[in-house]
Amino acid sequence: MANPSLLILPGDGIGPEVMGEVRKVIDWYGANRDLSFDVSEDLVGGCAYDKHGKPLADETMAKAQEADAVLLGAVGGPQYDVLEFKLKPEQGLLRLRKEMDLYANLRPAQCFDALADFSSLKPEIVGGLDIMIVRELTSGVYFGEPRGIEKVGNERVGINTQRYTESEIARVARSAFELARRRNNKVCSMEKANVMESGVLWREVVTEVHAAEYSDVELSHMYADAGAMQLTRWPKQFDVIVTDNLFGDMLSDLAAMLTGSLGMLPSASLGAPMANGRPKALYEPVHGSAPDIAGQGKANPIACILSFAMALRYSFDQGDEAARLEAAVEAVLADGLRTADLMGPEGGTPVSTTAMGDAIVAKLNDSL
Ligand code: NAD
Ligand code: IPM
Ligand code: MN
């Protein structure tokens, strides 16, 4: 049988640096676990704009639709901030999400024991934390129409529209309930039903889907602002959180800091199953292109490496191999290896991006 195909889009800034370390891990699986991929690489974001004049070429979009899974590094950079909106690097990523219909964005926040002291919250608050944020990714205010900047009278007005259909809410709710059944069986849905009609509908539909199909799962609702407060107060009260596109964007950055660093958080963006039974899927770290540290060997590659672990689990049915990779990451952290973002007063051994990748591969070797 042909090897599964992986399309790699390293992107901008630290994207290519962290993806370089993922390539080492992919090669390791090919050499040691009889798990080879047919890998191809292409451009997205600012680098695609530089070459093609747009942040995602149509040929790259077509390749992404065909791939068994897509791995993305990060997009964006200050030099592109002046571009008109539809040419900005971020639009390349948004096009991938929208056209592949990747409606369920899984953002796990797990605090590794070795980092519990490093989080900006107390170790007893974050130690052992393991939550999953399910962010709706293809609708809401990110894509709603009308949008734009218009002249009204003698001033400009910026317009975006929060819009959700029942079916958009129902399908992401199902994703959250399904995940919860394989975890601790609890879902908390977050919206602003107190001020937004889209929030009222969100709460109603989640409640209906729950009653009809998932009454075995414990369901609660929270306003998203209170949810942010509860995430910092006592995050271990949560198992799965399901929320909309914009709230999910913010709450997942917040959750990242519970785990120690934005450089730790992976994500999987999943759509409907393809003909081969695998979900349409794109895997990417939650962090961005980090222009402030790009090109300096400082980036933490763990978020991107753990995103590949999610690909092993969700696209390739290799949960044991995903667990092997997660254990290798945990072991390296337990040894005290720290990229710059993980260096706190309690110290550790400072390592570069590539040294962190090499150390994880060494732990994979030890696992054999
Ligand atoms: P960012 O995530 O790039 O950086 C925020 C802070 O976290 C920075 O101080 C950065 O140095 C640090 N950081 C991020 N990832 C790190 C890593 N792996 N290792 C060590 N430190 C890390 O967010 P930003 O500064 O708000 O945005 C920069 C650019 O990235 C913007 O153009 C933005 O649009 C884009 N962005 C892209 C994505 C994506 O591609 N998925 C996500 C978020 C932001
Ligand atoms: C993320 C990013 C993106 C988003 C940007 C870069 C389009 O912040 O993946 O969290 O807002 O979704
Ligand atoms: Mn974000």
- The enclosing domain of 345 has a CATH number of 3.40.718.10
| CB of residue 72 inside a 6 A radius of ligand 2 | no
Q: Answer whether 14's CB lies under 8 Å from 294's CB.
A: yes
- Catalytic one among 29, 142, 164, 283? 142
**58 given a catalytic annotation:** no
On whether residue 183 sits in a domain, the answer given is: no
Structural domain including 32 reads 1-103+264-368
Q: Report which DSSP code applies to 344.
A: B
Listed as ranges, residues in the chain with pLDDT below 50 are none
On whether residue 67 sits in a domain, the answer given is: yes
CA distance 309 to 107: 13
On whether residue 124 sits in a domain, the answer given is: no
Q: Report which DSSP code applies to 85.
A: G
Number of the ligand 1 atom closest to the C-alpha atom of 284: 41
Pocket test for ligand 1, best of 289, 293, 343, 351 (most atoms within 8 A of CB): 289
Q: Report which DSSP code applies to 335.
A: T
pLDDT value at residue 117: 86
What strands, in cross-sheet order, belong to the sheet with 240-243?
A: 38-41, 5-11, 69-74, 279-283, 268-273, 104-110, 130-136, 240-243, 186-191, 218-223
For residue 180, give Cα distances in angstroms to 34, 122, 218, 341.
31, 26, 9, 31
On whether residue 227 sits in a domain, the answer given is: no
For the packed helices 302-314 and 319-334, what is the interaxial angle rounded to 10 degrees?
Answer: 160
Pocket test for ligand 1, best of 245, 262, 292, 306 (most atoms within 8 A of CB): 262
CA of 312 to the centre of ligand 2 (A): 23
Q: Answer whether 71's CB lies under 8 Å from 301's CB.
A: no
Residue nearest to atom 7 of ligand 2 (CA): 90
pLDDT value at residue 104: 98
For residue 348, give Cα distances in angstroms to 302, 334, 335, 336.
16, 10, 8, 5
On whether residue 156 sits in a domain, the answer given is: no
On whether residue 166 sits in a domain, the answer given is: no
On whether residue 54 sits in a domain, the answer given is: yes
| CB of residue 94 inside a 6 A radius of ligand 2 | yes
pLDDT value at residue 1: 73
Structure-block tokens of residue 32: 């040691």
**142 given a catalytic annotation:** yes
**192 given a catalytic annotation:** yes
pLDDT value at residue 122: 93
**249 given a catalytic annotation:** yes
Residue type (1 letter), 185: N
pLDDT value at residue 275: 87
How many domains does the chain fold into?
Answer: 1
The closest ligand to the CA of 253 turns out to be 3
Q: Answer whether 105's CB lies under 8 Å from 69's CB.
A: no
pLDDT value at residue 346: 74
For the chain, what is the total number of helices (H) and then of strands (E)? 12, 14
**pTM given for the model:** 0.96
- State what percent of residues in the chain have pLDDT above 70: 100
pLDDT value at residue 260: 85
CA of 296 to the centre of ligand 1 (A): 14
Residue nearest to atom 5 of ligand 2 (CA): 90
On whether residue 154 sits in a domain, the answer given is: no
For strand 69-74 and strand 279-283, is the pairing parallel, antiparallel, or unpaired?
A: parallel
- Catalytic one among 50, 117, 253, 335? 253
